[in-house]
Structure 1
């Protein structure tokens, strides 16, 4: 009987530890490959596997350690999808999380944003100086050293995307987790106008006006009005709790829970489990909260 990975949200760590349980959600990759949208915004409640799924996309598409990462998907459903597997390990991936960007003032929040972007930018592999103009290299070094002002910082993913495209001749995948955390903080602490101005410019530069982008995925809990945050982003597709697309990939489906109940010898209380935890409907799919089920197991 496998151990329960409570609190684990890194796909590679889970798959590299054979004794940890993993419920196969790699059909997400297959659906993503077939989806024509350029930028996907996925909103779900907390504890529904958003970070783990974004981590799964990261390890699947990332060209860094591609062969090693390919083995992580052995035996999973996506490994049977030839079209998807042809794209495995083919893209530079820019991964960014705003989970810690919650502060009492915009100045303090910018420090956290600088830190998050710096941690991402420090992972950029070395490339030829000719891949960017000198002023663009200055911006990347400013991101790495956390010295940029907000107006400069908002263009950081654009420049980093350009670097990847010019260096590897392929556009990157941009993944942003918990995009709404700094906005929730800004609303509660009274600096909404400053924050929304920054993030509107940040997302526009990264996703709307970025010719070096392959595709993007953004996850969070809240659906922020398109008019306030994603103005003019006609390439944005939203998957919310009312959407059918991607609905079964976040949370545990009824068949998945039934299998877990059987595997962990809980059939005697199956009816009680259904009454306790069977309370979510995303699109037309009935789902269980994975955090609740894993804690039960």
Structure 2
């Protein structure tokens, strides 16, 4: 029986005897069809791992992390530097701290990718705009933003701070609209775009939250749970019914799933 890996980094799964549910066909189709996308899902649904998988493909390719997956012999993209921002790691209580942490990530990215000759700034929108301006024509990056609405949902009852964050985000996404140095951009969050008035200036972002073609890209279907987690399902039923695992029937599994899924 393989272990269940609670990981947001696909590279960590390679050296572990862990279960990985292959979603790479969806990711392949996503990157072929769209340049800028948004997907909303509840927390703990696998959004972070999905973004990490996309970033790893663009930055490092398929070796060695994707052997045995659907995408292994199909991915032919050139490699691109990836700016991966997780807003979960930034302050939700202080706007100045948030800006500093945000800008530090942009500066670390620029340094790691030898992007120089730009002016520093303590406003994320200006700093990233300066980094774009310092990049030569034809050079592109991949931008991944995880949990874009973390600061907003944390301050839903703090009207003043909520509005400060909303205003900052609106200005930041305005800088991204039509930016030629972005090869691909993906944003995730809990709140859908239409529910937060910060993306009207970034209307080139395609909201795929309810798109049927990508509905199974994040999270597990019932059939995937039955296929990849059957041993754990049997253990759950055996524990509940006080029977041996070999005595658990298919009907027991279905009944168990009906209550848990």
Deviations 1:96-138 (A, max 9, x none): 110133534xxx1331342143134214325375xx4xxxx22
SS in 1 for 2:89: coil
Which of 32, 35, 40 matches 1:34? 32
1:12 aligns with 2:11: yes
Which of 127, 139, 154 matches 2:114? 127
The alpha-carbon deviation at position 44 of structure 1 amounts to 0.7
Paired position in structure 2 for 1:52: 49
Task: Map 1:181-260 to 2 at 5 A.
Answer: 181-190=150-159, 191-206=161-176, 208-225=177-194, 228-240=197-209, 242-260=210-228
User: Over the residues paired in the alignment, what is the CA RMSD in angstroms?
Assistant: 2.4
Paired position in structure 1 for 2:84: 95
CA distance in 2, matches of 1:210, 1:9: 28
Task: Map 1:131-150 to 2 at 5 A.
Answer: 132=117, 137-139=118-120, 142=121, 148=122
Deviations 1:205-260 (A, max 9, x none): 02x142222121000011143771112333111012x3213111111123211112
Unaligned residue ranges in structure 2 (runs of 5+): 235-247
Paired position in structure 1 for 2:237: none
Unaligned residue ranges in structure 1 (runs of 5+): 143-147, 279-297
The alpha-carbon deviation at position 183 of structure 1 amounts to 1.3
CA distance in 1, matches of 2:233, 2:207: 38
Is the CA contact 1:41–1:237 (under 8 Å) kept in the aligned structure 2? yes
The alpha-carbon deviation at position 264 of structure 1 amounts to 4.3
Is the CA contact 2:115–2:131 (under 8 Å) kept in the aligned structure 1? no
Is the CA contact 1:158–1:205 (under 8 Å) kept in the aligned structure 2? yes
Residues 123/38 of structure 1: CA separation in 2 closer, same or farther (3 Å cut) = closer
The alpha-carbon deviation at position 57 of structure 1 amounts to 0.5
Paired position in structure 2 for 1:154: 125
Residues 227/270 of structure 1: CA separation in 2 closer, same or farther (3 Å cut) = closer
Is the CA contact 1:50–1:250 (under 8 Å) kept in the aligned structure 2? yes
Give structure 1 regions of 4+ aligned residues with deviation exceeding 4 angstroms: none
Deviations 1:14-69 (A, max 9, x none): 12x2312211121232111321x33101101111100000000011101xxx36x6
Paired position in structure 2 for 1:72: 65
1:118 aligns with 2:104: yes
Residues 155/30 of structure 1: CA separation in 2 closer, same or farther (3 Å cut) = same
| TM-score normalized with structure 1 length | 0.74
Residues 162/175 of structure 1: CA separation in 2 closer, same or farther (3 Å cut) = farther
Is the CA contact 2:10–2:49 (under 8 Å) kept in the aligned structure 1? yes
Please tell me whether Structure 1 or Structure 2 has the larger radius of gyration of its CA atoms: 2
